Amino acid sequence: MTSFLKKILEATRLTGRGQLADATAAIQRALGERAGPTPATAATAPAGGIVVEAVVLEREAPPTVQPGGVPPASAPVPPPAAPPVHPGGRFVESSFTGASGTRAFKLFEPTGFEGLSLPLVVMLHGCTQSPDDFAAGTRMNELAQAQGFFVLYPAQAARSNAHKCWNWFVPGDQRRGGGEPALIAGMTRHVTQTHGIDADRVYVAGLSAGAAMAAILAREYPDLFAAAGIHSGLPAGAARDVASAFSVMKSGASAAPTASAPVIVFHGDADSTVAAANGDAVIDSVLAALPKGARTEGAGTARGRNFRHTVWRAENAAAEAPSLAEDWRISGAGHAWSGGSPSGSYTDPTGPDASREMLRFFLEHPRRRSQ
């Protein structure tokens, strides 16, 4: 057993005994042994880093973590993003309380569509991010105003994870009816009912930790979410504890049928925080639960980055038929939102516009009533 793995397993044992400060120190030693400091950049810095999610299981103050998590204490920390600017529409702050707890949220309400039943996109931020930051970086509000969407941004509470990561790797937060999935689903239903949203066009998307939680929601609540957008994330249930979280982030998760909603995946092939193999696993987990499909591939260049675009449709389906899944693999891109705005954190302004492509994909996939 390697020294690195021994330290990770020791951290798991200490966490289970409630010795969180000692567990954090063990993780720091392990990471310091694995990799030295590397400057973080807006285009490649991890979205709060899923490593931090695996480090901070409870309520301790943020530790100093080497790259692969939040920037080291010695590295400059990006300033908070300015609130996103959107001509028209309102960005309203509120909160929701359910059986699993309370979370704040922000809701973008487009104007000029009064009397219409509009779609809703639930956007789950990455670690260290906030609804304002995530909205600014993805430009989702501006697109929603132009196309007529509501956008819901649940906010992870620091009391639940010190780095505001969604707890995708905790077994109690991976299943329907409890934990964070139940809380986010309850919040989504509340907003859907109170704002007259089209219940057949409710979608979920996320980045990093948020993407991993979006995959869980798509698997556990296909009766609520018609499709999902997974950016730099992992398949549902990919990890069960700290040690397995490190393992799947580095090497990729094994896929199992999920019977989830259709998915669109974005992943950079140079992502050093979450291996691109995890994007493959997300696609495989969905296709394994669906009828056999036909695959088509294309390639292109967008704002200086090459990409490969793969689409799966039902066998013998027409070219314009809705896809079963889509995969966008961006050459040279790291752990950041493709085509995002530098006004938000953890974005890559180059490459295809993930926000625009996700909205296009969502509109093609209203909820299947058989679910």
Number of domains the chain is built from: 2
User: Is the pLDDT score of 364 beyond 50?
Assistant: yes
Cα–Cα distance measured from residue 15 to residue 166, given in angstroms and rounded to the nearest whole number: 18
Higher-confidence residue: 222 or 30? 222
Strand partners, 296: 311
Nearest C-alpha neighbor of 221 from the set 250, 196, 187, 248: 187
| Single-letter residue type at 125 | H
292/211 same-domain check:
yes
Range of the domain at 331: 90-363
Higher-confidence residue: 259 or 346? 346
Nearest C-alpha neighbor of 244 from the set 173, 135, 171, 341: 171
- Whether residue 58 lies inside any domain: the answer is no
* Confidence bin at 32 (pLDDT 50/70/90): very low
240/112 same-domain check:
yes
User: Is the pLDDT score of 36 beyond 60?
Assistant: no
Q: What is the DSSP letter of 57?
A: S
Rama region for 88: left / alpha / beta (φ>0; ψ in -120 to 50; rest) = left
Do 163 and 137 meet the contact criterion of CB atoms below 8 Å apart? no
- Whether residue 77 lies inside any domain: the answer is no
3-state secondary structure 284-305: HHHHCCCCCEEEEEEEEEECCE
Summarised one tens digit per residue, pLDDT across range 280-308 is 999 998 888 776 778 899 999 999 999 99
Mean pLDDT confidence for 88-102: 95
Cα–Cα distance measured from residue 152 to residue 150, given in angstroms and rounded to the nearest whole number: 7
- Whether residue 72 lies inside any domain: the answer is no
> Buried b / exposed e across 31-58, counting CB within 10 Å, b at 16+?
beebeeeeebebbbbbbbbbbbbbbbbe
| Single-letter residue type at 91 | F
User: Is the pLDDT score of 75 beyond 70?
Assistant: no
Do 262 and 288 meet the contact criterion of CB atoms below 8 Å apart? no
Mean pLDDT confidence for 38-43: 33
Residue written as token pair 């040690």: 243
- Whether residue 233 lies inside any domain: the answer is yes
Mean pLDDT confidence for 129-137: 98
21/146 same-domain check:
no
Active site residues: 208
* Confidence bin at 90 (pLDDT 50/70/90): very high
262/355 same-domain check:
yes
- Whether residue 61 lies inside any domain: the answer is no
Cα–Cα distance measured from residue 32 to residue 369, given in angstroms and rounded to the nearest whole number: 51
CB-side exposure of 360: number of CA atoms within 13 Å? Answer: 9
State pTM to two decimals. 0.80
27/105 same-domain check:
no
Which of 11-20, 123-132, 241-250 has the weakest average pLDDT? 11-20
User: CA-CA-CA-CA torsion for 39, 253, 293, 260, nearest 10 degrees?
Assistant: -100
33/94 same-domain check:
no
110/11 same-domain check:
no
User: Is the pLDDT score of 325 beyond 90?
Assistant: yes
Question: What CATH number should be reported for the domain holding residue 141?
Answer: 3.40.50.1820
7/119 same-domain check:
no
- Whether residue 269 lies inside any domain: the answer is yes
- Whether residue 314 lies inside any domain: the answer is yes
209/353 same-domain check:
yes
- Whether residue 71 lies inside any domain: the answer is no
Q: Exposed, middle or buried, 127 (CB in 10 Å: 0-12/13-18/19+)? A: buried
What's the mean per-residue pLDDT of the chain?
81
What per-residue confidence (pLDDT) applies to 322?
85
Q: Exposed, middle or buried, 217 (CB in 10 Å: 0-12/13-18/19+)? A: buried
164/245 same-domain check:
yes
3/126 same-domain check:
no
- C-alpha dihedral sign at 243, 247, 248, 254: negative
What per-residue confidence (pLDDT) applies to 51?
32
Mean pLDDT confidence for 152-174: 95
What per-residue confidence (pLDDT) applies to 6?
58
Summarised one tens digit per residue, pLDDT across range 169-194 is 999 999 999 999 999 999 999 999 99
Mean pLDDT confidence for 222-226: 96
Strand partners, 328: 266, 309
List the structure tokens of 196. Answer: 């007259």
List the structure tokens of 133. Answer: 């930051």
8/117 same-domain check:
no
